[in-house]
Amino acid sequence: MQKILVTGGAGFIGSNFVHYVVENTDMNVTVIDKLTYAGNRQNLAGLPEDRAQLVVGDIADAALMDELVSTHDTVVHYAAESHNDNSLRDPRPFLDTNIIGTYVILEACRKHDVRLHHISTDEVYGDLELDDPNRFTETTPYNPSSPYSATKAGSDLLVRAWVRSFGMRATISNCSNNYGPRQHIEKFIPRQITNILDGRRPKLYGAGLNVRDWIHSDDHSSAVLTILEKGELGETYLIGADGEKNNLHVIRLILRLMGEPEDAFDHVADRVGHDMRYAIDSTRLRSELGWAPQFGDFESGLGDTIDWYREHVGWWGREKSAVEAAYSTHSQ
Ligand code: NAD
Ligand code: DAU
């Protein structure tokens, strides 16, 4: 039976992956997570203790990572500082976790000859114009915009260098914007849902014409599992589900699904350096590895996500005022 070490497994996408793996495979999972503001023990609640354990610690702790990596077959590396707006206000934790943390993992995997799958983002490619007929592919040049995406690009390049220089058994995936349960309420979709549930108005940056390519977190998990099973070592795979929508459309849809007038939102200060459009061409993953997304209907996936936040006020309620107070100091 395979033992996998999942970094950042108490966060949004990592915890959804851990649940997905326990439900769909016979692998055993150890989560290593620092439980930053974005990590939550409750995200792993309900998992059988003999299949999934949590170790609280920092991926930049070389002694801890050496010990943990040495007893596992594969590392799936989700841990990161993940929010663009935070990176614009205080970039340092992004360098510590996304760059140094990834370096520490690479060295531990190299020493113990352990397979690594590195989770990354489409933001490493920068952005596209709204009318550009092209989408990102595995050969699009790197051109990150924010401190967050620059550190993710740096971490990808470190993985590529360890593959080339040291023969590291590694794969990389770059995925588009995820939605689903357990996403931190600082992020766009859960922020707006919880604003409405909390009697606040949704907040749209600028004109809201920026496009994101939405994918359900379970489709991201199935793609990662597919790459673990069938991916070619040393290669990169883009993950996306043809879900391009602009922010204005999404905010109106959330309002409609929650029974509110579609114009009941505020335009607030735009993000500096705001990427205009992300769009993924996932042909390689689909044609070479046979993956396909299961969540074709964004509206119904979004409806389920709204229900999740409605039913889990205890998960987000205590943090809501502080998250909104932090945004308001930046007129957002
Ligand atoms: P998240 O912020 O919800 O979770 C990150 C997790 O990492 C948290 O549990 C946090 O406690 C943990 N963590 C942070 N620093 C750590 C450290 N030094 N040591 C150990 N644990 C640490 O993030 P997310 O949205 O779930 O993103 C997970 C990964 O997926 C990231 O690598 C991100 O770049 C990537 N990604 C995210 C998206 C998206 O739409 N959210 C899309 C593509 C790729
Ligand atoms: O593309 C993948 C990336 O998607 C991941 O690498 C990041 O970890 C993840 O956070 C996400 O980055 P974005 O910056 O696209 O996501 P965010 O949820 O912060 O914002 C989505 C869009 O919504 C973006 O255009 C900014 C806008 N926005 C965001 C917030 C928080 C608003 O209009 N209002 C808001 O309140």
Number of the ligand 2 atom closest to the C-alpha atom of 85: 19
296 pLDDT band, cuts 50/70/90, is confident
pLDDT in tens, 93-150: 999 999 999 999 999 999 999 999 999 999 999 999 999 999 999 999 999 999 999 9
**Distance in Å, CA 301 to ligand 2 centroid:** 18
- Picking from 178, 183, 295, 280, the residue whose alpha carbon sits closest to that of residue 236 is 280
Residue 229 a catalytic site member: no
pLDDT band at residue 65, thresholds of 50, 70 and 90?
Answer: very high
Distance CA 78, CA 187 (A): 17
Residue 49: count other Cβ atoms within 10 Å of its Cβ. 6
Of 123, 186, 218, 244, which residue is the catalytic one?
123
Task: Spell out which residues line ligand 1, taking CB within 6 angstroms.
Answer: 7-8, 10-14, 33-36, 38-39, 58-60, 78-82, 97, 101, 119, 121, 152, 175, 177-178, 184
Q: Which of 103, 148, 237, 278 is catalytic?
A: 148
Atom from ligand 2 closest to the CA of residue 186: 31
Which ligand is nearest the CA of 223, by number? 1
Distance from residue 74's CA to the centre of ligand 1 (Å): 18
Look over the chain and give the mean of its residue pLDDT values, rounded to a whole number: 98
CATH 3.40.630.10 fits 3-179+216-239, yes or no: no
Tokens linked to 327: 């945004």
What pLDDT was estimated at residue 152?
99
The DSSP string of 264-300 is: --EEEPPPTT---B--B--HHHHHHH----S---HHH
The binding-site residues of ligand 2, defined as CB within 6 angstroms of any ligand atom, are 82-84, 121-123, 176-177, 187-188, 191, 203-205, 208, 210, 212, 247, 271, 278
Strand 211-213 vs strand 244-246: parallel, antiparallel, or unpaired? antiparallel
Average pLDDT over residues 297-319: 97
> Is residue 53 scored above 90 in pLDDT?
yes
Question: With contact defined as beta carbons under 8 Å apart, do 277 and 129 qualify?
Answer: yes
Q: Among this protein's residues, is 122 annotated catalytic?
A: yes
pLDDT in tens, 186-219: 999 999 999 999 999 999 999 999 999 999 999 9
pLDDT interval class at 1 (50, 70, 90): confident
The ranges assigned to domains in the chain are 3-179+216-239
205 is catalytic: no
Atom of ligand 2 nearest to the CA of 192: 36
Residue 217's identity, in one-letter code, is S
Taking the CA of residue 149 as reference, the ligand 2 atom at the shortest distance is: 6
pLDDT at 5: 98
Do residues 187 and 174 make contact, with C-beta atoms less than 8 angstroms apart? Answer: no
Convert the pLDDT of each residue in 225-242 to its tens digit. Answer: 999 999 999 999 999 999
pLDDT tens sequence across 238-277: 999 999 999 999 999 999 999 999 999 999 999 999 999 9
| Percent above pLDDT 70 for the chain | 100
For residue 328, the model assigns a pLDDT of 95
- Centre of ligand 2 to C-alpha 327, Å, is 14
Do residues 146 and 87 lie in contact, with contact meaning Cβ atoms separated by under 8 Å? yes
Task: List, for residues 153-170, the tens digit of each pLDDT value.
Answer: 999 999 999 999 999 999
